[in-house]
Amino acid sequence: MEYMAAGTSIPDVDMEFDKNIPRICGVCGDKATGFHFNAMTCEGCKGFFRRSMKRKAVFTCPFNADCRITKDNRRHCQSCRLKRCIDIGMMKEFILTDEEVQRKREMIMKRKEEEAQRESQRPKISEEQQQVINILLEAHKKTFDTTYSDFSQFRPPVRENTTRRITRSSSVQTQSYSSDSDPFNSSPEPSEYSFFSSSLFGDCSSDGSLGGPNDLKMLPHLADLVSYSIQKVIGFAKMIPGFRDLTAEDQIALLKSSVIEVIMLRSNQSFSLEDMSWTCGSEDFKYKVDDVTQAGHNLELLEPLVKFQVGLKKLNLHEEEHVLLMAICILSPDRPGVQDKALVEAIQDRLSSILQTYILCKHPPPGSRLLYPKMIQKLADLRSLNEEHSKQYRFITFKPEHSTMLTPLVLEVFGNEIS
């Protein structure tokens, strides 16, 4: 048989095929590896056809030229095997010349080298960065409990227009906070998480006016939540790599300024877009905006707070991104009272770099598009919420009877603002 090389380079094409159709060699019935020389064949028949065409081989059938070719006997009759190759559509024009084969190999090698170069230039999470992420995830796990089992220890929520009351076992006492203790230099037992309250705008007073203590039915319960959450944020902060390298004074300054912002960030994990509420384990501990109004807060805080929670929820952050954002929030060098701003900034820059690398490597598009600047904007939003929160706490504690509903820890943390 005469071998005819194609005038132009016609590659050995692996054509598209229906994935539901079994890949069977059309020559011998063996498992096929793809389309070779215009037909679905195995590697063996592919090589046989190429060699036969290039050698211009002429075969003769020793039988009656009608052999049935199978995987087991395909070597017995080359003539009938070659005839079967042609019958199923294999074409010698699809065979590359030696020069074309060499060019193809060089092109493949070049593509592999280019891909390897791109891969080497692609950002990667280093072992050190991954270790920081793992530490933060573990810190969050130790200070955040999705069962919210500790909520039964708080003074029970008392809501208007309802006969439901939360009762607790006499063996479980409300957590006490000694004014003589230093919560920032002690290491609270890692445990749960929570947020002081929230959800949608029911009976909100636009002027923020408050009545007597009976009008603030939810304040004692939410004050317990705040105290509890403060403890957990302190526990989380102490496990942030680099935080303990700071002086005690800078640690306290950072925590006092950031704690309510981190509580707001953490609360997003229990926030539901369906009914704009924070559900902490059960319906008994499901908080809506009217619960917060019964703790003395008004729309100046609640409206932007809910807007913030909705926006943050829609970012669909990975847990790794969430814990990094909390750590970055705490390690802000521009917090009031911070002395070693350079060290705080260095720690924050390290965390920010890890977050950006993680987004590039692990957060697929389109969600990753502008995700880092959007997250940083959320920190700016938190500053405004923090300011309004402090302002309203000053108003809540204007009357001594309101201050007595708060815990010593809340009074200590927000003392500068509400004294």
How many domains is the chain partitioned into structurally? 2
Q: 52: closest CA among 23, 17, 27?
A: 27
Q: Which two tokens stand for residue 285?
A: 């501990």
Instruction: Return averaged pLDDT per consecutive 10 residues of the chain, 419 residues in all.
Output: 37 49 90 94 96 92 92 94 96 90 92 83 89 97 89 84 37 36 44 32 40 70 91 96 97 96 95 91 85 88 95 96 98 96 98 96 89 96 95 82 84 63
Same domain, yes or no: 237 and 348: yes
Same domain, yes or no: 85 and 161: no
368 torsion bin: left (phi>0), alpha (psi -120 to 50), beta (else): alpha
CA angle 298, 299, 305 (to 5 degrees): 105
CB 314 within 8 A of CB 231: no
CATH of the domain at 100: 3.30.50.10
3-state SS of 88-99?
Answer: CCCCHHHCCCHH
pTM over 0.95: no
Report the pLDDT value the prediction gives residue 134, as an integer from 0 to 100: 97
Task: For residue 392, give its domain range.
Answer: 127-418
Q: 230: closest CA among 396, 375, 402, 412?
A: 412
CATH of the domain at 398: 1.10.565.10
Q: List, in order, residues 6 or more apart from 376 with CB less than 8 Å away.
A: none
Same domain, yes or no: 54 and 169: no
Same domain, yes or no: 134 and 115: no
Same domain, yes or no: 376 and 235: yes
Partnered with residue 287 across adjacent β-strands are 278
Last residue of a domain, one of 99, 122, 145: 122
Same domain, yes or no: 94 and 111: yes
Same domain, yes or no: 180 and 94: no
Same domain, yes or no: 308 and 383: yes
Helix 371-396 / helix 319-330 crossing angle, nearest 10 deg? 50
Q: 185: closest CA among 141, 246, 116?
A: 246
CB 47 within 8 A of CB 95: no
